[in-house]
Amino acid sequence: MSPKIKILFIVNPISGIGKQKRFEKILNRHINKEKFDYKIEYTQYAGHATEIAAAAAKEGTYDVVTAVGGDGSINEVAKALVKTETALAIIPCGSGNGLARALHIPIQPWRAVRFLNSAEFRKIDTCLVNGQFFFSVAGAGYDSQVARRYEFFPGRGFKTYFWAIITSFQKYKPIEYEITIDGVSIKRTALMVTVCNSSQYGYGFRISPKASLNDGLLDVVIVKKPEPWRVPFVLLNIALGRAHKSKCFEILQGKHVELFGNKKRWVNLDGETVRLDQNLNFEVDKDSIVIFC
């Protein structure tokens, strides 16, 4: 009989829209107890998930560390596991759940737990922007404005996210960027520039439908500001996975990307906003984290 897989669940008790509050009961009901030895730890402050995951990886006490929360919580856990032998698993309990969707993990927590019962180990790429890890997307311009506005709106979920999209659009003015991809420079006036490791933001909005988590490449999505009457059609294309067919979108690929001219300095980093420099340096590290899914 194979030894049990030792798995730690790190739960953010205030993440996303509250799905994690019943998680202990869900876990006990649906996990395969013959396959796993498991433990739950709850975070107590920002950055605590990273500390717990880093200690677990350093001590080698667990084969898998599971982030139970939204994309921000997943980022906190995942960055502690890069280039270690400890695998990352995900139970999505946030609102957008972009990385979980890209990995085809069910977004209902009980289904995600059952999904773990038949999961396998594999590797995916990770990315850095100015030394900060991201695993799905990092964007400058309008999408960072949306993410920042969403953080301060009361409530969570798709309606709030959609309202942040609409209320940010009218006043946001395109910015002129210089973008260097693998040494080749271009200039674009854009609503936003998003660098993608996975295909989507979350909620099924696939900003770069052909992006792959294990191709060793970054997808650079340059979006022109559409006329107001065209916005519903652009959003529909994104929702249907046809963003690459829109005239407002230009999608390029490379291993190393430099972005100059991010005047507001805010960056959407896996759904959380961080303030970085006006000049951004993106790089991808192929097959650098083990995923259990």
Which residues in the chain are classed under CATH 2.60.200.40? 132-286
The residues of the chain that CATH labels 3.40.50.10330 are 5-119
Q: How far apart are CA 242 and CA 188, in angstroms?
A: 22
- Which residues of the chain, if any, have pLDDT below 70? 1, 14-21, 150-158, 161, 163
Beta strands 64-69 and 36-42 are unpaired
In this structure, which topology does domain 5-119 adopt according to CATH?
Rossmann fold (3.40.50)
Strand 121-129 to strand 132-134: parallel, antiparallel, or no bridges (unpaired)?
antiparallel
CA dihedral 200, 202, 203, 207 (to 10 degrees): -20
Q: Which residue has the tokens 């200690």?
A: 55
The Cα 86–Cα 69 span in angstroms is: 19
Nearby residues of 245 by Cβ (< 8 Å), 6 or more positions away = 237
pLDDT reported for residue 212 = 95
pLDDT at residue 185, as a whole number: 98
Average pLDDT, the chain: 89
Give the span between the Cα atoms of 207 and 194, in whole angstroms. Answer: 8
Q: What is the per-residue pLDDT for 72?
A: 84
Q: State the Cα–Cα distance between residues 104 and 213, nearest whole angstrom.
A: 12
pTM: 0.89
pLDDT of residue 86: 98
Q: Are 67 and 74 in contact (CB under 8 A)?
A: yes
pLDDT at 20: 55
Q: Which two tokens stand for residue 280?
A: 């951004």
Give 264's contacts (C-beta < 8 A, 6+ positions apart): 144, 145
State the sign of the Cα–Cα–Cα–Cα dihedral 223, 229, 235, 236.
negative
The pLDDT score that the predictor gives to residue 75 is 93
φ, ψ (nearest 5 deg) of residue 19: -65, -25
What is residue 157's predicted lDDT score, i.e. its pLDDT? 65
The class (CATH top level) of 132-286 is mainly beta
The vertex-162 CA angle with 158 and 164, nearest 5°, equals 120
Model pLDDT, residue 4: 94
SS3 letters across 30-63 = HCCCCCEEEEEEECCCCCHHHHHHHHHHHHCCCC
- The CA-based dihedral angle spanning residues 39, 47, 291, 139, taken in that order and rounded to the nearest 10 degrees: 150
